Amino acid sequence: MKATEAIQQIQADIANAKEGGTQQILVANLEVYLATVLEKARAEESAAGAEKIDQANHQLEVWKAQLSASTNHSIEMFKAVIEAGQTALKSAIVINGGAAAALLAFAGNAITKGQVLAGDPLLSQIGVGLALFVTGLGCAGLASGMRYLAQFAYSEFHYNRKRVRMRAAGTVVNWLSITLGAASFGCFFFGGYSTYAAIARPSVHVTSPVALLSSPFYGSCCPVARIAHVYWRSSITCSEYHVG
């Protein structure tokens, strides 16, 4: 009960008493009446206060639940972003490293079996793809390192909010890491296309007698190629004789 309501209640009771013929009110009766009004006001205030407390507690619990859900969502999103970035960089390292190893094995096998020689145009074209794969591998490795540097900068800013430069540095390093990761995948795609072009559409250029003998063009109907091969062998023999 508010103060105005209490006064209005007293005035109404006095008016009722006056209408009933009461001209004077004993002090004792007035004290009892005021005590009754006071007790009623306290009871109403207590009930209203309890209701307000219940509402406040309810709002507090709702806020705590929303805060907990928002915090858990932020943590899970952060973990998902970190895991996705780590998986992407691992994939870039695996595909570029595997492609580079496969090209090295292919080139080494071809040279060992005498199908091509060092400096052959096919190897030169494949070397471009190998260089792209190695570059992509390096970009992925560098991006992984920058990723940890970015997290270090963010953690330093978290513990000391005044170090705003650490946050800016973390943002810059993070974007550099993303750029290097994208460049790594780009190197893989361009390296794959370069290797495909070198194998599917190689340059027609015979540089070794072994490749010349193994070609159908030499073995079928090309006397000019045979004469050139004999001349090449004789020149090698003469040079060895003069050197000896």
Query: 14-24, pLDDT tens digit by residue?
Result: 777 777 666 66
Say if CB 163 and CB 156 are below 8 A apart.
Answer: yes
CB 209 within 8 A of CB 229: yes
Residue 157 has pLDDT above 90, yes or no: no
pLDDT for res 117:
60
Q: Is residue 148 part of a domain?
A: yes
In a domain, 44, yes or no: yes
21 in any annotated domain: yes
Same domain, 141 and 181: yes
Highest mean pLDDT, choosing among 23-27, 84-88, 214-218: 84-88
| Cα–Cα dist 137/143, whole Å | 10
Task: Assess contact for 96 and 133: CB atoms under 8 A.
Answer: yes
Q: Which pLDDT band holds residue 115 (cuts at 50, 70, 90)?
A: low
What is the value of pTM for the model shown? Answer: 0.56
- Write down the residue that tokens 């006064």 correspond to: 7
> Hunting for tokens 């070397």 — which residue is that?
127
Q: What is the pLDDT of residue 230?
A: 42
Highest mean pLDDT among 50-64, 132-146, 223-237: 132-146
Task: Report the C-alpha gap between 208 and 178 in whole angstroms.
Answer: 46
Q: Which domain holds residue 94?
A: 77-200
- Domain match, 37 and 143 both: no
Tokens of 197: 């072009």
